[in-house]
Every structure is written in C-alpha cells, then in structure tokens.
Amino acid sequence: MKRLKTVLALCAVASTAAFAQTSFTLTGNIPEEHNGKTVYLVLLDGREKIDSTVVTSGKVSLKANLDTDARPGALMIDGRRRANFIIENGAAVINEDGVVSGTPLNDISEATAKKVDDAYTRYKNEYRAVMTDTTLTDEAKKNLLEVKYEEVIGQLDTIILNVYQENKTNPVGYMFFSQLAEGMTIAEIDSLLDGAAQWIKDSKMVGNIKHIAQSLEITAEGKMFTDFAVKMSNGKTVRLSDYVGKGDYVVLDFFASWCGPCMREMPTIRAIYDKYEGKGLKVIGLAVWDDPADTRRCVEEKQLPWTIIDNAQEVPGDIYGVQGIPHLIIFAPDGTIHKRGLRGDELIAEIDRLMNK
C-alpha cells in the first residue's frame, strides 16, 4: 500500500507546454492549524526559496517570477512539503487538501490524479469484497488479493508511464520520473531518460536516484559486504567488519526509535535472537537517522539484548541504498550479502532454513 499512497501524493502535476519566462501566483487556503507559521514557495529540485508569507486566518498568497520555463515547485511548512505542483504562468489556487488548480498544467494534473484515485478506489472495493466473501478460504483470499494488487499496480504504472512519456521534456516528466525509476538499474534509468529535457537529466532528483541505484547494485545479494565506520555516542568507533565476515551469519537491522514499523518488527528479531544467538548467528541493531539519546531510551524500554550500534545516522543507509526502515540484511559467514529486505515470517523462515541446513 505504501507505493499506492506515494503515487497519490505525487499526482499534483502535469504538463503541455513551457514558457521562456514564468510569472506565477498562488493563493488559497491552508489548514488553520498553521496560522502564524511561515510558508515557503520553493523550487522542488534543491528547495531554493522563491517567496514566503505568514499563514493568516488559513490564507496564503505567494508569487514567483522565474527567468526560465515552468518548473516543479512545492510549499514548505515546518521544513516539510505541504504540496507539490508546477510553477507556471498564471494564477493558481490551493485548497486545504494541498490540491493546486486554476492553471493549465495543474488542471491537467487533477485529471491524472483522478485516474489514479479511481484505480485505487476500485482496488479498495475489490479488497473489501474478497475479504467478506464467506465462500473463499483464507488461502484463496490471499491468492486473489495478490492478483488484484498486481493488477492495480499495473494500471498505475501504465497511467504514470503514459504521462511521463508525453511530458518528459517539461516539469511533469520530472515529477513522475521517480515513480518509474524506483528499483531500476543505472542502465534502465538512462534508457528512461532518453529524450528527456537536459535540466531533468541534470537535476538533483535524478542524481539521487542514480546514486541509490548504484548503491543497490554494489550491495546486491551475492556481493561482498561494503564496510563502514560509526562513531557511537560513547566515543567508540566500530566498523561493520568487526562483526561481518567472521564465520557467523549476521542479521543487521536498520532501525530508529521513532519508526513504528521498526518497533513492530522487534518481536521477529527477538525470536531469531533467542533461538540462534551464539549458535552461528549474531544480531546487530543499527540505529540510523536517530538521536542517540532516543536510541538508548528505546533499547532500555524494549529491553533489546542484542548488540546496538547507535549514532549511525545517514552513512550506512547511503552506502546500502536504504530508502526506508526497517530494512534487514542477512550476511553469510564469509561476508557476502545473502538476503536483504526480508521481514516477519519470511525472515524467520529463511533464518530457520540457514541454521538447520
């Protein structure tokens, strides 16, 4: 479901033409909970601030004058994106849901968003129908839902690919590129960029996607582990090579104290630890993107008995192309990457298989 939600969030863009110069205004409503806060109009690639205003009575008024063609933009409040849209010639309006309309490109965006929303709604209705069908076994429901999920993903991919192919020389191509490029190799990304505007090819967004793809290729299953060093909050510097490649299987858990899914995965990791720690397997918790004090508090509250590396921050995730947590990697005794991305019952089953072969 994460992928569907992400697609919905990005469907605030589309395009038919671009202009040598751009004069743009944006007015409308912001939830009143933001009253008194400063809202920024920024270029989406690089977050360059163009204009700002203070939210008053749930209203905003912003403008942008660019010496360039139309470009992807965003609203930022409290350091977070409130809405994505295209900065283009004209006067656009934003509503409390973050929907921008009133200009040609943003109006086309709404048509695309509706197609995606309709596909998602159909899937939800089909999901409910399957789950309430008393004539189906649990196994039959599972299999049918997997088919329907793949169907809706295929529909969404088609919608996005068509929009991208029609707009790869303008801002909408930029906005939808990341959805298509997710999980692609460098070669596949370059193929997707064929014919795209040069500014899209040179964008920070594309650079980041290529960097992630390269990291994933280097740290793919079957490859030897890539080492990194972390200076923990106690001042001690540890390396991944202190644990990996020493003759044991190693389960490395990328987690953070603020991450709900990470906390829900802890019973799975605890079951593996209780069953196999010291019997040819080690469990390592790697706290990323987290305040060390919060990590220590989490370890104490959850009574996590395995080795914890705190204060890892961005470096390990950057090296291993980790885009979301929890993310678990199984290293073989010789240091090669055996599996990555398994969770829950699949993780337990794989560890059981390895430890009992």
Residue-wise pLDDT for 226-250, tens only, equals 999 999 999 999 999 999 999 999 9
Give the CA distances from residue 348 to residues 217, 258, 328, 345, in Å, rounded to whole numbers and listed in that order.
Answer: 25, 24, 12, 5
Quick one: pLDDT at residue 20?
58
pLDDT mean across residues, the chain: 91
Quick one: pLDDT at residue 18?
41
Residues of the chain with pLDDT under 70: 1-20
Quick one: pLDDT at residue 6?
41
Instruction: Count Cβ atoms within 10 A of the Cβ of residue 99 and give its class: 0-12 exposed, 13-18 middle, 19 or more buried.
Output: middle
Would the CA dihedral through 251, 255, 261, 266 be positive or negative?
A: positive
With CA atoms as reference, report the closest residue to 318 among 356, 349, 288, 348.
Answer: 288
Edge-first strand listing for the sheet containing 281-287: 307-309, 281-287, 249-255, 327-331, 337-340
Give, to the nearest 10 degrees, the angle between helix 171-181 and helix 104-131: 30
Q: What is the rounded (10 degree) CA torsion for 281, 286, 292, 298? A: -60
Quick one: pLDDT at residue 64?
95
Q: What is the rounded (10 degree) CA torsion for 207, 209, 214, 217? A: -170
Quick one: pLDDT at residue 357?
81
Residues near 283 by beta carbon (within 8 Å), at least 6 away in sequence: 250, 251, 253, 269, 272, 273, 277, 306, 307
With CA atoms as reference, report the closest residue to 87 among 110, 112, 62, 111.
Answer: 62
Which one-letter amino acid corresponds to residue 336? T
Q: Alpha helices, DSSP H only, in the chain?
A: 2-10, 104-131, 138-167, 171-181, 186-192, 198-201, 204-218, 260-276, 292-302, 315-320, 344-355
Residues near 325 by beta carbon (within 8 Å), at least 6 away in sequence: 254, 255, 256, 259, 261, 262, 288, 289, 317
Q: How long is the chain?
A: 357
CA distance 292 to 280: 29
Residue with tokens 């203070």, as numbered in its chain: 54
CA distance 2 to 19: 35
- β-pairing verdict for 327-331 and 249-255: antiparallel
CA distance 62 to 27: 6
CA distance 132 to 149: 17
Quick one: pLDDT at residue 108?
82
